[in-house]
Amino acid sequence: MRLLLVEDDPYLQENLVRSLSRRGLQVTAASTAATALSMWQSLRPDVVLLDLTLPDGDGLNVVSQIRQLGMTTPVLVLTARTTVGDRVLGLNSGADDYLAKPFDLDELEARLNALYRRTKSAQQAMALEADPNHGRLGLPTLQMGAISLDTLNGVAYLHQQAMELTPREVAMLQALMAQAGQAVSKERLFSAVFPDELDVQFEAIEVVAYRLRKKLADTGISLVTLRGLGYLLKVGT
C-alpha cells in the first residue's frame, strides 16, 4: 500500500512513518496542505492519512479540493476533533473514515487496510466491466458441486436458482469456495465477512458460520469446523 501521511506534528509524523513502514506500507509524509495537494496529485497514493489541523489550512479543504479534481483516493481523517458534528462534516467533505486521537496503532492499520481493500475491489470490478470480452464471457463464477457463486454481484445459485443468503453469508461462502477443500482460518474469514466493522466481536464469525451451515443443508455441500484451524467446504456430508 502506498500511503500519503499528512501530519504537521514532527514527533507524531516521525513515529507514524517508522511504525507503518515496519508494517509493510510505503509511506510518504507531508506537513502542510500545499505540499499534500502537490504530492497527492504527483504520487497518486493508494490511501491518504490526513490530519485536519495544518499550519496553512484545514485538512478538510484539502479533501474538498482533491475531490473537485476528480480524484477518489480513500481518505482516513486523523484528528483531535471528536464531536459528532466534526465527524459528519469530515465525511460530507469527502473523507471515507475518521479516527480520533489518541488512537491505537493496530486499529489505525486495520482501518487503512480496510480502505485499501475496498478500493482495490472497486477497481477490479470497474476493470472487468471495461473488458470488451466481459459481456461475452459472462461474470466471474466460483463453482462447487451444485452451487455457483457470482462473485461480482454477490449472488449464490443452487441448481441455477438464487439462494437466500445474507451479504455476510455470501462473503463467507465466497472465501470458503475460493479455497474449496482447504481449511480457512477464522481470522481470514472475519476479515472477509466484517472488513469495515471494527466494533464487531470476533466470535460473530461463528454465528455466520452456523447460519450458513444450516442453509447449505441438503445442497450436497458441507461446512466443516476444524478445531484450531477454522472452516472448510467439502462436497458431501
- Tens of pLDDT, residue by residue, the chain (237 residues): 899 999 999 999 999 999 999 988 999 999 999 999 999 999 999 999 999 889 998 888 898 898 888 888 889 988 776 555 655 665 666 788 888 888 889 889 988 988 888 776 655 555 545 544 444 334 478 888 899 998 887 889 998 888 988 888 999 999 999 888 888 898 889 988 988 777 788 888 999 999 999 999 989 999 999 887 889 998 876
Which residues pair with residue 230 across a beta bridge? Answer: 226
Which residues pair with residue 76 across a beta bridge? Answer: 49, 97
Between the CA atoms of 30, 34, 36 and 41, what dihedral angle is there, to the nearest 10 degrees? Answer: -140
- For residue 158, the number of C-alpha atoms closer than 13 Å in the C-beta half-sphere is 12
CATH superfamily of this structure's domain 2-127: Response regulator (3.40.50.2300)
Q: In 3D, which of 125, 231, 215, 121 has the Cα closest to residue 166?
A: 215
- Cα Rg for the chain, rounded, in angstroms? 21
| Residue 207 CA from chain centroid, whole number | 21
Query: Long-range pairs for 37-44 at CB < 8 Å and ≥24 separation?
Result: 37/62, 37/65, 37/66, 39/4, 40/4, 40/66, 40/71, 40/73, 41/66, 41/69, 41/71, 43/2, 43/4, 44/2, 44/73
| Residue 176 CA from chain centroid, whole number | 18
Q: Domain locations in the chain?
A: 2-127, 141-235
To the question of pTM greater than 0.75 for the whole model, the response is no
CATH number corresponding to 141-235? 1.10.10.10
Q: In 3D, which of 24, 66, 67, 29 has the Cα closest to residue 49?
A: 29
